[in-house]
C-alpha cells in the first residue's frame, strides 16, 4: 500500500514525501513520521554533482540513513553506473523507499531496513553517506568500516550549536575539541568535524583527504576520499592542529600541538576542497541550480589552505574606522597575496597575509582615512 503523502520533483527524480515534513532548519522529528526536509534539496544536489564528477563506470553506494530514500533514489536515478542501498533503521521508512524506487522505475536501488552499525559490519561500499539527526559522532566509526578501499565517505552534522561553540561542553564531549566563538565559529565548526573524521580514520590506519567541505543553512558537510596505508594516515594526522587568536593584534596562528595560546581545536588545518573535482562538478539539472552555480563559484575560488577567515565587522571594531567595501578590501589584498571571498559568510574573506598587513590595507582604504587625507570616498 502506498504510504500517505505527496509526490514532488527534486532534480530529475520523483519523490513521495510525507504530508508532515520540514521545510527549513535542522528539521523536526515528528513522532511516528518519516523524516523529510525540503531545504536539504541543495545538500542532495551537491551529492549528485560530486558523484557525477567522479566519472566512475561503477559505484556501489550506501545511503546509511535514508529516511524516505530521497538521496538514495536521486543518486540511483541521476548518477550513471550506481548500485544503491537505501538503508534506514525505521520500518516506517520502508514503504516510502519502496514507493520511491518504483515511482522512478529503478532496478539499481534496493531498500534495506538495517541498523547501519550491523550493515557496515557485513558489507562495504565505494561511497557511504551519513546524514543523522544532529551529531554524526556515534556513527562515523561504523561508516568508515563500511567504506571499501579508497572509498568516499560523506558526513553531515546538524549540531552546529556545539560545533560552533554555543554549547562548548557538548563539543568537548562529542568531538574532544575546543570550539571557537565569534566570526570564525563556522569555519572552526567545520574543521572540528573533519578532525573528528580524521581521528576515526586513524584507528583503522587509513588516511583521507577532503574532496569538498562546506557550511550551509544549519549544517556542516564534508566528503572525504580515503587514502589507504599508515603513511597516508600519518600525513593526514599532520593536518590536525590547534588555533590561537591574539586579541591584541588579531593574528591567527596554528600549531600542531596544544599550548596555552593554541587552545582551540584540535581542528583540520589542511585544505577543505579538491579544486580539480570542483571544476568538473556541473549544476545542470539540479533542483536548486542557481544556488549550485553560486556555491560552486565560491568554493572554486576560495583560498582554503590557510585557516582562518577575517570578517569586516571584526576589523571595523578593532581598527575603530568605518569599513571599505568588501570588494575593495579583497581586491587590494589580492595585490599583495592570495585572498578570496569565503562561503562561510558574505561579510568575510580569507587571505594568506598576516593580520598586520590586513589591518594596514583596511586602515589605508577606510573612508575615514581617505576623507582625512583630503580625498573623496
Ligand atoms: C536526518 S534523517 C535522514 C534524512 C535523509 N538522509 C534525507 O536526505 O532526507 C536521519 C535518519 O536516520 C535514521 N537512523 C537513525 N539511527 C539509525 C541507525 N542506527 N541505522 C540506520 N538508520 C538510522 C532515522 O530513522 C532517520 O530516518
Q: Which atom of ligand 1 is nearest to the CA of 37?
A: 9
- The pLDDT tens digits of the residues spanning 317-365 come to 999 999 999 999 999 999 999 999 999 999 999 999 999 999 999 999 9
Which pLDDT band holds residue 4 (cuts at 50, 70, 90)? Answer: confident
pLDDT at 142 over 60: yes
DSSP state of 275: H
Cell output for 183: 566570526
- The pLDDT tens digits of the residues spanning 43-86 come to 999 999 999 999 999 999 999 999 999 999 999 999 999 999 99
Nearest CA residue ID for atom 13, ligand 1:
65
Mean pLDDT of 220-224: 98
174 CB-near residues (< 8 Å, 6+ apart): 135, 137, 159, 162, 196
Which pLDDT band holds residue 307 (cuts at 50, 70, 90)? Answer: confident
- Whether the CA torsion 297, 292, 185, 178 is positive or negative: it is negative
- Residue 27's pLDDT is 56
Q: In degrees rounded to 5, what are phi and psi of residue 167?
A: -130, 75
- Residue 22's pLDDT is 62
148 CB-near residues (< 8 Å, 6+ apart): 60, 124, 125, 126
Could you give the residue ranges of the DSSP H alpha helices within 135-184?
A: 140-145, 160-163, 168-175
- Residue 20's pLDDT is 64
Q: Which residues pair with 15 in a beta bridge?
A: 8
Rounded to the nearest whole angstrom, what is the distance from the C-alpha of residue 34 to the centroid of ligand 1?
9
- Residue 2's pLDDT is 84
Nearest CA residue ID for atom 11, ligand 1:
65
Q: Which residue has the higher pLDDT, 23 or 93?
A: 93
Q: Give the whole-angstrom CA distance, residue 349 versus residue 216.
A: 16
Mean pLDDT of 149-156: 97
Rounded to the nearest whole angstrom, what is the distance from the C-alpha of residue 103 to the centroid of ligand 1?
21
Nearest CA residue ID for atom 5, ligand 1:
66
Pocket of ligand 1 (CB under 6 A): 35-36, 40, 44, 64-68, 70-71, 87-90, 93, 115-117, 131-133
Mean pLDDT of 269-296: 97
Rounded to the nearest whole angstrom, what is the distance from the C-alpha of residue 134 to the centroid of ligand 1?
10
Q: Which residue has the higher pLDDT, 207 or 308?
A: 207
The full set of domains in the chain, from first to last, is 6-301 (3.40.50.150), 310-372 (3.30.56.70)
Q: Which residues pair with 195 in a beta bridge?
A: none
Percent of the chain with pLDDT over 70: 96
Amino acid at each position: 500500500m502506498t504510504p500517505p503523502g505527496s509526490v514532488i520533483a527534486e532534480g530529475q527524480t520523483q519523490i513521495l514525501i510525507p504530508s508532515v515534513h520540514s521545510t527549513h532548519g535542522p528539521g523536526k522529528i515528528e513522532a511516528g513520521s518519516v523524516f523529510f526536509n525540503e531545504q536539504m534539496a541543495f545538500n542532495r544536489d551537491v551529492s549528485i554533482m560530486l558523484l557525477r564528477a567522479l566519472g566512475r563506470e561503477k559505484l556501489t553506494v550506501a545511503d546509511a540513513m535514508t529516511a524516505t530514500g530521497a538521496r538514495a533514489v536521486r543518486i540511483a536515478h541521476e548518477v550513471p553506473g550506481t548500485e544503491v542501498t537505501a538503508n534506514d533503521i525505521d520500518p516506517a521508512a520502508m514503504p516510502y523507499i519502496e514507493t520511491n524506487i518504483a515511482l522512478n522505475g529503478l532496478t539499481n536501488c534496493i531498500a534495506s531496513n538495517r541498523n547501519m552499525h550491523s550493515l557496515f559490519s557485513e558489507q562495504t561500499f565505494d561511497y557511504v553517506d551519513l546524514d543523522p539527526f544532529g551529531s554524526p559522532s556515534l556513527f562515523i566509526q561504523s561508516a568508515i568500516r563500511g567504506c571499501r578501499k579508497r572509498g568516499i565517505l560523506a558526513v553531515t552534522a546538524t549540531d552546529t550549536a556545539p560545533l560552533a561553540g554555543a554549547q562548548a561542553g557538548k563539543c568537548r564531549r562529542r568531538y574532544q575539541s575546543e570550539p571557537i566563538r565569534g566570526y570564525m565559529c563556522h569555519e572552526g565548526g567545520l574543521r572540528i568535524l573533519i578532525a573528528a573524521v580524521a581521528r576515526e580514520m586513524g584507528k583503522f590506519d587509513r588516511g583521507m583527504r577532503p574532496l569538498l567541505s562546506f557550511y550551509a543553512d544549519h549544517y556542516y558537510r564534508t566528503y572525504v576520499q580515503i587514502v589507504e596505508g599508515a603513511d597516508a594516515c600519518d600525513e593526514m594526522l599532520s593536518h590536525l592542529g590547534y588555533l590561537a587568536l591574539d586579541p591584541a593584534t588579531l593574528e591567527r596562528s596554528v600549531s600542531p600541538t596544544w599550548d596555552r595560546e593554541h587552545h582551540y581545536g584540535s581542528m583540520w588545518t589542511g585544505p577543505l576542497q579538491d579544486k580539480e573535482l570542483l571544476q568538473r562538478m556541473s549544476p545542470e539539472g539540479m533542483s536548486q541550480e542557481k544556488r549550485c552555480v553560486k556555491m560552486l563559484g565560491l568554493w572554486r575560488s576560495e583560498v582554503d589552505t590557510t585557516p582562518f577567515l577575517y570578517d569586516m565587522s571584526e576589523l571595523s571594531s578593532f581598527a575603530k574606522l568605518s569599513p571599505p567595501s568588501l570588494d575593495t578590501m579583497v581586491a587590494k589584498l589580492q595585490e599583495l597575496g592570495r585572498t578570496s571571498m569565503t562561503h562561510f559568510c558574505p561579510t568575510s574573506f580569507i587571505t594568506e597575509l598576516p593580520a598586520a598587513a590586513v589591518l594596514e590595507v583596511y586602515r589605508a582604504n577606510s573612508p575615514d582615512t581617505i576623507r582625512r587625507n583630503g580625498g573623496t570616498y
